[in-house]
Amino acid sequence: MTEKRIDLNCDMGESYGVYTFGGDQELMNHITSANIACGAHAGDPNVMHQTVALAKKNGVSIGAHPGFPDIVGFGRRKIEMSPEEIYRWTIFQIGSLQAFCKAHHVALHHVKPHGALYHVAARNKEAAKAIAQAVYDVDNSLILYGLAGSELLTEGRKHGLTVASEVFADRTYQKDGTLTPRTEQNALIHDPHKAIEQVKRMIVHGKVEAVDGSQLTIEADTICIHGDNPQAISFAERLQKELIKLGIDVMAIGERC
């Protein structure tokens, strides 16, 4: 039997000022990688500092989570930007988190775009190229996380970056391999059992069922758990246990057994 391993990642550090979001403290016990907001769509210097420290304390790999500069829309609204602007905004955000990592004497591990920027880079070659170039120029040892089968991963490979194919436990898929837009009623999987079964199938069999019933081939290196889901903590704990039962090693990408 081929050895199976998977990374569990979660978007974190999404609080801002006096507003607190997500159960970062508890979730850190059940994930292997944290994608930390860099102040554009969420987060601020205080939150970034605290979240990096929390990840370090828990032995969780740290990733920069750059998004469109859209605090009001939480980075889920597409902002029209040229590839050059995307490149500069990405460098700006990676560098911000990288500075906090340096202050805490911990390495930055990966980069994963957020929200609308993530989805634009999944389909748009020029946007994907801009992000891949930004990651490469800042530190070409960083791992680039992106939607499985996306343009972002293709461009990451072209730039010589290590890439990680990301799949989602609580999202449904379209027949072209993209995620169902959140504006549609069937975008989210609310039943934890169904979400876990979807994950198991993606990891063990490399397949996922699209909303139209078609079967898609998919590569899974890392699973995204949404920290803003009210059931996130209990779901992450349950998922971790189920994967271990199947003999799947849960660890950060690049980590050795």
Query: How many angstroms separate the CA atoms of 137 and 141, rounded?
Result: 10
Give backbone dihedrals phi and psi of 164, rounded to 5 degrees, phi first. -130, 125
Which pLDDT score is estimated for 255?
A: 80
3-state DSSP assignment of residue 206: coil
Identify residue 194 by its one-letter amino acid code: K
Give backbone dihedrals phi and psi of 213, rounded to 5 degrees, phi first. 95, -10
Q: Which of 77, 66, 115, 97 is nearest to 228 (CA)?
A: 115
Quickly tell me which residue has 């194919």 as its tokens.
Answer: 165
Q: Which of 47, 16, 53, 41 is nearest to 93 (CA)?
A: 41
Q: Note down pLDDT in tens along the chain; length 257 residues.
A: 346 899 999 999 999 998 988 889 999 999 999 999 999 999 999 999 999 999 999 999 999 999 999 999 999 999 999 999 999 999 999 999 999 999 999 999 999 999 999 999 999 999 999 999 999 999 999 999 999 999 999 999 999 999 999 999 999 999 999 999 988 989 999 899 999 999 999 999 999 999 999 999 999 999 998 876 668 889 999 999 999 999 999 999 988 65
Query: How many angstroms separate the CA atoms of 217 and 38, rounded?
Result: 33
Domains of the chain, start order: 5-250 (3.20.20.370)
**C-alpha torsion angle, residues 232, 58, 110, 86 (rounded to 10):** 60
Write out the H or E segment, with its range, that includes residue 207: strand 207-209
Which pLDDT score is estimated for 129?
A: 98
CB 200 within 8 Å of CB 181: no
Which residues pair with residue 147 across a beta bridge? 166
Query: How many angstroms separate the CA atoms of 97 and 247, rounded?
Result: 34
Which pLDDT score is estimated for 219?
A: 96
Query: How many angstroms separate the CA atoms of 90 and 133, rounded?
Result: 10
